Structure 1
Amino acid sequence: MPRRGWMLVVVAAALTGVAVAVVMHPVAHASPDPAVLARRIALGKQLFNDPSLSADGTVRCASCHIPERSYADRRPVAIGVHGHTGTRNTPSLLNVAAGSESSFFWDGRRTALEQAVLDPLTNPVEMGLHDHAQLLQRITRNPAYRAAFAQAFPDRSDSLTPSEVGTTLAAYVRSLKQPDSPFDRYQRGDRAALNPRAQLGLALFQGKAGCAECHRLDGASSALTDHAYHRSGVGLDGITANLPALTEGVIARSLQGSAIGDRVATHVDEAQLGRFNVTLDPADIGLFRTPSLRGVSRTAPYMHDGSVPTLDEAIDREVYYRSLQAGYPLNLSVEERQDLKAFLEAL
């Protein structure tokens, strides 16, 4: 069978089959002396808030991961240098490194936070620097940064490296913890922390609605994700007719790491392919990483492309799509949907 015909077959199978969950193993990272770690966190915070590390001097990491907005930006997709728009919704950074660090970005193209935090700096529609050499040049021309890196890495003897920049930014991101929520207090035994409606919502979340199958409630401080990849039905309709050409192009390029991010940020159609851009496995077309639901009521809009504007619509969308996957309607009443929303607001 010609390659194009083969691709049509596997693409069709991927779209009609069951979503494949891919779980990545966590990446270990060393724990430095507490004083050194504190210096790295402080330095990472400075870098995170420094617009001089963008191509036009106007965009910071905090331009999209806004502290007052739960380290998201409440836009459908990110806006970067020169007003360029990306293709992916900005996720919150709160608790992003909690529990098992498995993968980062919607398609899971990075498995180490130290790598993931560097990618936006050189992404053409995010912060837009040409390469890591330009990043290091901008940092080292600042005497205060040179002194701070010397204190944050007291044992190093050579010049600044991208790895050290990534380490400081990752240290800061790991320090971003969501405040205690009513659900956390409820899990610790405070039964009054969740109001009656939210408790009904929790029962639905774990049972009839099936949410906990992907947004898992394991452990004392639940991450509310299975660290896997699933198909939500969002975004595929617009690219179905062109799938063979899109997928063959991705396979021909076989990009890795930050190059994947650069490509999907500038090609809307390919961005909808999700995990496939990383694995090149047709079964992964349209699969995206399960986001944590921590602080979900404050991070609208939703889905990988920001196409679902409100929490009510996200609930309706999930109920509808889970019904399609199950082969029968979930039949949540209006009251039950409000109960489920009350629980999500308690996260």
Structure 2
Amino acid sequence: MIKELSVALLLVGSSSVLVAAPLGLPPVPIPENNPQSPEKIQLGDKLFHDVRFSADGKVSCATCHAQDKGFTDNLPVSVGFNGLTGTRNAPTVLNSAYMETLFWDGREPDLEGQSKQPPINPVEGGLSDHGVILDVIRKDPEYVSAFDAVFGTDAAGIDMGHVSMAIASFERTVVAGDSPFDQYQYGGQKDAMSEAQIRGLALFIGKGRCVSCHKIEQTQALFMDNRFHNIGVGFKTIRGKEQETAAAFLKSKRAGADVDVTVLTQKTMSELGRFAVSENVTEVGAFKTPSLRNIEKTAPYMHDGSLESLADVVDFYNNGGRVKDSDPLSGFLSGGIRSLDLSKSEKKDLVKFMEALTSPNLNQFTQR
């Protein structure tokens, strides 16, 4: 069961305060089996930043999801322990509380499950299992005291369920709205956006058809649809060998291969997208729609980090799912992906509009 939190809990120094839900966003969904508390949020914040939960003692959640970089790392693909790289761009933690599935292919259903995977991925945290994390926590007096206060457990009773619930609780406070768009659309401040941004909004809803997947509703806007689409990004990696790649993946999966490891260590398999989870052939190459909130802060873009700027993203869509007009189209493109015929000025206005989705005070979530 899910309850909704109509206010956001934000850390300020060592204390917690209640603030109104950000303008333009709905209440934060809170699982009944993991209610929020100031102490749990503070514990999750500490766990999120602890580099000891990696094989080289240098990688934490915050390494790839840094507050000063829009809770991403501004790299095409993330760098894990010992400088190893994966296959996918780090999604922002901002507003991840509203996501119905986690990771680009949606292979985890909630933040609790998602938080357990990176430490034991061979190109992220590099740990062989969660034992190291629990050992560090159980030997740290501050952690032992905090887990006792939050979960009522002694050192021996601390498990990854507790760890994941604390991290998820912190992540559910990383919520940002109240952008110039929100002030314009929902706050009645018609001077909050520039003329170019207002024209961009009209294009976003109309000619550009961006709103088909990046949703804007009457009283709120998540700028995502929690669905999966093949828009053509990265598909050249498996073009012409889709069936062969899918069959090889399924054979490996049936033999017990870890999907989390496979998609982050094998570039070809990674491009299968949602198919790796659903095994539905219509979802080959489909990836989750990201929210466009604070998109200005989270370059580069797409699941493989292949587009450097928002202008590049607009060009890609304007070309109907291609970097260049001469590039071949994917045979698995989702419906609606086609050339937009936008002029140069219209493309600039769209970029300006997306810049109006940036929230103020993005450094408010943690003092670390």
Aligning the two structures, in what range does the TM-score lie when normalised by the shorter sequence? Answer: 0.7 to 0.9
Q: Give the one of 26, 29, 33 matched to 2:31.
A: 29
Matched residue SS, 1:51: coil
Counterpart of 1:331, as a letter, is D
Report the alpha carbon displacement of residue 168 of structure 1 after superposing the two structures with TM.
Answer: 0.3
**Partners in 2 of 1:176 and 1:166 — Cα distance?**
16
Residues 319/258 of structure 1: CA separation in 2 closer, same or farther (3 Å cut): farther
Contact 2:87 2:304 survives alignment (8 Å): yes
Report the alpha carbon displacement of residue 263 of structure 1 after superposing the two structures with TM.
Answer: 1.2
Residues 328/235 of structure 1: CA separation in 2 closer, same or farther (3 Å cut): closer
Residues 256/222 of structure 1: CA separation in 2 closer, same or farther (3 Å cut): farther
Contact 1:87 1:268 survives alignment (8 Å): yes
Segments of structure 2 that go 5 or more residues without pairing to the other structure are 1-27, 323-328, 330-334, 358-368
Report the alpha carbon displacement of residue 238 of structure 1 after superposing the two structures with TM.
Answer: 2.1
Task: Give the structure 2 partner of residue 228 of structure 1.
Answer: 227
Structure number with the higher strand fraction is: 2
Shift >4 Å, 4+ stretches: 31-34, 155-158, 255-258, 322-328
Root-mean-square deviation (Å)? 2.4
Indicate whether 1:344 and 2:342 are aligned: no
Once the two structures are overlaid, the 10-residue window that deviates more, 164-173 or 153-162, is 153-162
Task: Give the structure 2 partner of residue 164 of structure 1.
Answer: 162
**Partners in 2 of 1:314 and 1:260 — Cα distance?**
28
**Partners in 2 of 1:285 and 1:195 — Cα distance?**
40
Task: Give the structure 2 partner of residue 177 of structure 1.
Answer: 175
Task: Give the structure 1 partner of residue 309 of structure 2.
Answer: 310
Report the alpha carbon displacement of residue 330 of structure 1 after superposing the two structures with TM.
Answer: 2.0
Deviations 1:95-130 (A, max 9, x none): 1113xx410100000111100011111111111111
Counterpart of 1:271, as a letter, is S
Matched residue SS, 1:52: coil
Report the alpha carbon displacement of residue 343 of structure 1 after superposing the two structures with TM.
Answer: 0.6
Higher relative contact order (CA 8 A, sep 6+): 1
Task: Give the structure 2 partner of residue 254 of structure 1.
Answer: 253
Task: Give the structure 2 partner of residue 4 of structure 1.
Answer: none
Report the alpha carbon displacement of residue 329 of structure 1 after superposing the two structures with TM.
Answer: 3.8
The alignment-based identity, stated in percent, is 36
Deviations 1:234-290 (A, max 9, x none): 111122243333211221233799931211111011011100110111111000000
Report the count of equivalent residues: 318
Contact 2:320 2:340 survives alignment (8 Å): no
Counterpart of 1:332, as a letter, is L
Counterpart of 1:46, as a letter, is K
What TM-score, normalized to structure 1? 0.86
Report the alpha carbon displacement of residue 137 of structure 1 after superposing the two structures with TM.
Answer: 1.5
What TM-score, normalized to structure 2? 0.81
Task: Give the structure 2 partner of residue 292 of structure 1.
Answer: 291
Q: Give the one of 142, 164, 168 matched to 1:144.
A: 142
Q: How does 1:59-98 map to 2 (within 5 A)?
A: 59-98=59-98
Residues 190/145 of structure 1: CA separation in 2 closer, same or farther (3 Å cut): same
**Partners in 2 of 1:39 and 1:85 — Cα distance?**
34
**Partners in 1 of 2:256 and 2:167 — Cα distance?**
18
Q: How does 1:101-250 map to 2 (within 5 A)?
A: 101-154=99-152, 159-178=157-176, 180-186=178-184, 187-250=186-249
Residues 313/33 of structure 1: CA separation in 2 closer, same or farther (3 Å cut): closer
Segments of structure 1 that go 5 or more residues without pairing to the other structure are 1-25
